[in-house]
């Protein structure tokens, strides 16, 4: 199992709505609005690294409200 975190910079004031959309994606285990340089963090848990890319670049980054993403893969799971 691969665990990764997507740090998302949003281009919207409706971050709670974006969290709801992101958590509906299969493989996303949770998402939280955070304070700081980014607006939300999503945890992704999937069987392989290719699925991480598909979810983050293919689905999360595709939302109109998403301005940018950064992906961090867990090394200890």
pLDDT in tens, 10-38: 988 888 899 999 999 999 999 999 999 99
Burial level of 75, CB count in 10 A (0-12/13-18/19+)? Answer: exposed
Tokens of 32: 């939280």
Q: What confidence score (pLDDT) does residue 12 get?
A: 81
Supply 29's token pair.
């285990």
Looking at domain 2-73, which of 3.40.1190.20, 3.30.70.920, 3.40.50.2000, 3.40.718.10 is its CATH number? 3.30.70.920
Give the residue extent of every domain in the chain: 2-73
Could you give phi then psi for residue 39, rounded to 5 degrees? -105, -30
- pLDDT score, position 13: 84
pLDDT, residue 11, reads: 87
CA distance 24 to 31: 10
The pTM of this model reads 0.91
Banded model confidence at residue 77, pLDDT cuts 50, 70, 90: low
């Amino acid at each position: 199992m691969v665990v990764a975190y997507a740090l998302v910079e949003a281009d919207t004031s409706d971050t709670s709505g974006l969290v709801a959309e992101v958590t509906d994606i299969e493989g996303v285990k949770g998402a939280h609005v955070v304070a700081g340089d980014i607006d939300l963090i999503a945890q992704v848990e999937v069987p392989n690294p290719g699925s991480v890319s598909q979810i983050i670049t293919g689905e999360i980054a595709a939302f109109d409200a998403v301005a940018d993403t950064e992906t961090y893969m867990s090394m200890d799971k």
